[in-house]
């Protein structure tokens, strides 16, 4: 058998992986299987070095061609993430989000790190309630570190807590169909901002759990699409990978800051060795000038930081 024909099954595997990367959205979402494949998509590229090693072991040009197909397809899908050139210029608003983990043993260290980011808006998921009051208010030790630098706080903590440098109108309201969520309008020197702080149902490869997650994502997408505000921010733990089809309806009306101004895949979970980006900041009416994932400080997610500039903004009043 010649080197061109030897290794046909290996080459076929390479072609199959390439087709999955390029056409994953066409897979039926039977019992959430499509969502699972979508979420794992960036890691399909690991097939390329495995196929190269197999091709060398078998001295097979066909297998090497399969590896090349995977490499080219992966690069076309994800290569631009490493070549982005964010907009130049100063920021007007810094948004930081982290799922800090209900069982975080280093919560004060996490709070101090978030305080020191210079955030103007801080969205925190899985923050413990006040252990004495048990009334939905936030952990007092965490609040003592954040309150002095971000004086405006949402008054309750339904699985997601928010601090802001700027005040907001009225009492924040839940997003219909999203259990752990709050929506409020912030008053900033550059104009009003419609803020959605969310913690979507966890993603696990169980059909009923995925269905609940997908239903909440659809509800959030409907709320954001119907929002008449010219400036919108969605921040939180969406439990949805950037490649997951469940993100598409939301991404049709707001844009990922990481995909506009971040370098690399910006993975956030698990904190020790991130494999997927579950945490997002998405906007409308802003220019993205920076996005990065912060080092771990406790908890099972890494924090994300997004720097924004108001579109056609004027300097704030003195």
Listed by start position, the domains of the chain span: 7-81, 93-310
Question: What average pLDDT does range 89-105 have in this prediction?
Answer: 95
**What digits encode the pLDDT tens for the residues 38-72?**
999 999 999 999 888 888 887 888 888 889 999 99
What is the reported pLDDT for 231?
Answer: 97
pLDDT band, very low/low/confident/very high, at 205 (cuts 50, 70, 90): confident
Put simply, whether the predicted model's pTM sits higher than 0.85 gets the answer yes
pLDDT band, very low/low/confident/very high, at 131 (cuts 50, 70, 90): low
Longest distance between any two alpha carbons in the chain, whole Å: 79
Give the mean pLDDT of the chain: 91
Q: SS3 for 257-308, per residue?
A: HHHHHECCCCCCECCCCCCECCEEEEEECEEEEEEEECCCCCCCCCCEEEEE
What is the reported pLDDT for 136?
Answer: 63
Q: Are 216 and 199 in contact (CB under 8 A)?
A: no
Question: What average pLDDT does range 28-38 have in this prediction?
Answer: 93
pLDDT band, very low/low/confident/very high, at 183 (cuts 50, 70, 90): very high
pLDDT band, very low/low/confident/very high, at 318 (cuts 50, 70, 90): very low
- Among 183, 147, 181, 156, smallest CA distance to 168 is for 183
Cis upstream peptide for 270 (omega within 30°): yes
CATH superfamily of 93-310: Endonuclease/exonuclease/phosphatase (3.60.10.10)
What is the reported pLDDT for 150?
Answer: 97
Asked whether the predicted pLDDT for residue 176 surpasses 90, the reply is yes
**Percent share of the chain, pLDDT over 90:** 76
**What digits encode the pLDDT tens for the residues 210-264?**
999 999 999 999 999 999 999 999 999 999 999 999 999 999 999 999 999 999 9
């Amino acid at each position: 058998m010649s080197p061109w024909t030897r290794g046909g099954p290996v080459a076929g595997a390479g072609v199959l992986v390439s087709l999955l990367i390029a056409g994953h959205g066409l897979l039926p979402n039977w019992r959430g299987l499509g969502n699972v494949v979508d979420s794992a998509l960036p890691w399909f590229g690991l097939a390329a070095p495995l196929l190269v090693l197999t091709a060398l072991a078998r001295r097979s040009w066909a297998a090497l061609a399969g590896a090349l197909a995977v490499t080219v397809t992966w690069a076309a899908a994800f290569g631009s993430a490493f070549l982005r050139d964010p907009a130049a210029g100063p920021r007007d608003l810094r948004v930081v989000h982290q799922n800090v983990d209900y069982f975080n043993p280093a919560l004060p260290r996490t709070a101090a790190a978030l305080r020191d980011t210079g955030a103007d808006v801080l969205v925190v998921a899985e923050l413990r309630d006040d252990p004495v009051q048990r009334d939905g208010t936030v952990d007092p030790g965490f609040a003592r570190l954040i309150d002095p630098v971000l004086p405006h706080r949402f008054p309750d903590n339904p699985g997601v807590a928010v601090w802001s440098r700027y005040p907001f109108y009225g009492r924040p309201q839940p997003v219909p169909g999203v259990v752990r969520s709050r929506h409020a309008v912030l008053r900033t020197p550059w104009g009003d901002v419609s803020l959605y702080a969310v913690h979507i149902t966890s993603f696990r490869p169980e059909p009923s759990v995925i269905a609940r997650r997908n239903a909440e994502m659809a509800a959030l997408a409907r709320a954001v699409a119907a929002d008449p505000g010219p400036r919108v921010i969605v921040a939180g733990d969406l439990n949805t990978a950037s490649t997951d089809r469940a993100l598409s309806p939301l991404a049709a009306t707001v844009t990922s800051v990481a995909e506009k101004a971040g370098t690399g895949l910006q993975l956030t979970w698990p904190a020790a060795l991130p494999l997927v980006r579950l945490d997002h900041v998405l906007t409308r009416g802003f220019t993205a000038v920076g996005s990065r994932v912060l080092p771990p400080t406790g908890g099972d997610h890494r924090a994300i930081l997004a720097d924004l500039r108001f579109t056609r903004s004027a300097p704030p009043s003195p």
